[in-house]
Amino acid sequence: MVSREQIAQAAALIRSGRVVAFPTETVYGLGANALDPTAIERIYEVKRRPKTSPLIVHVSSVNMARSLVTDWPDSADRLAKAFWPGPLTLVLQKNDRIPVELTAGLATVGLRMPAHPVALALIEESGLPIAAPSANRFTQLSPTTAQHVANGLGDAVDLILDGGPTEVGIESTVLSLTGSQPVLLRPGMVSREAIEALLGPILLLENAGDAHASPGLHSKHYSPRTPLYLLGPAEPLPKLGRGIHLYWSNPREAAESQVMPAEPEKYAATLYDTLHQADLRGYDWIAVEAPPATSVWAGILDRLVRASIR
């Protein structure tokens, strides 16, 4: 799917300050040299992302992560051992190598080691940490295939590496380790439960006070173009127009419906592609049966809430 030559070409582009779309296990990323303010600027331009939303830096080792922060706490070490490479971003105190352009002016930086051979090979080959948000325009659906990237960004990126569909399917869990207690800034497929099994109780963003506000967590985000209604058990389907009902447990009378996986890992892996497809089919609405309100579904529920009409 992706050849050594393509990795070498992509790495050369990264080293010369260009942007490259590449697969990770979460979603496709729009990558650039994390140490180069001009390259970072390009990411914001291509995405039309507000400058207030910091980027996540992708590393290929714990050593590379340590080289970017002032302090690597024991909790980071334990989490990295348990969950890296994988869909967990750790927010830590940045050092001077990380430009403030990348962190929206914050003194902290989000770091993660992705579990995708192409992403890891690209970081290794370029010899640089790679800043990468999702490879889509701001507020639109994240891409989980190379085709989604091409549809959304077209000529705006210098190269798209096609590593097939992503396995996890939604963005990483983001955990801040900069305060006296860890704070879950964004839920994802590494669940609160799994983190607490390792670290003991952690705080949720809503209980952590203002000091931990995570810029870039916009209430509307990750949205399909088609209006999406997230429905509780008693809420009716929209009456007007032609739509599709996505359910995992309770089918309804609907002209069109699609059953979603009842396991969170499988549900997350297909969610964005299902929404991309629904957009392409030109429905007037997408109705989604709300998933369970448990910790293992929290990342999925968070994305659906942000995607929905409220």
Q: What is the contact surface with ligand AMP in residues (CB under 6 A)?
A: 53-56, 91, 103, 106, 108-110, 133-134, 171, 174, 185-186, 214, 216-217
Please identify which residue in 108, 134, 145, 166 interacts with Mg ion, judged by CB under 5 A. 134
Sheet containing 203-204: give its strands across: 159-160, 20-22, 29-33, 130-131, 56-58, 108-112, 88-93, 173-176, 183-186, 203-204
Minimum CB distance to Mg ion, residue 139 (Å): 9
Q: Which does 76 bind (CB under 5 to 8 A by kind): Mg ion, ligand AMP, none?
A: none
* 280-306 burial code (b ≥16 CB/10 A, e <16): eeebebbbbbbbeeebbbbbbbbbbbb
- For the record, the structure tokens of 51 come out as 């400058």
Residue placing its CB nearer to ligand AMP in the complex, 13 or 56: 56
Minimum CB distance to ligand AMP, residue 106 (Å): 5
Q: Which does 91 bind (CB under 5 to 8 A by kind): Mg ion, ligand AMP, none?
A: ligand AMP
Q: Which does 181 bind (CB under 5 to 8 A by kind): ligand AMP, Mg ion, none?
A: none
Minimum CB distance to Mg ion, residue 238 (Å): 27
Report residue 143: phi and psi, to 5°: -85, 135
Helix (H) or strand (E) holding 7: helix 4-15
Residue placing its CB nearer to ligand AMP in the complex, 6 or 166: 166
Minimum CB distance to ligand AMP, residue 234 (Å): 32
Report residue 240: phi and psi, to 5°: -90, 145
3-state class (DSSP) for residue 198: helix
Stretch that binds Mg ion, among 50-58, 65-73, 133-141, 197-205 (CB under 5 A): 133-141
Minimum CB distance to ligand AMP, residue 284 (Å): 28
Residue placing its CB nearer to ligand AMP in the complex, 6 or 176: 176
Residue from 182, 186, 185 nearest 200 by CA: 182
3-state class (DSSP) for residue 94: strand
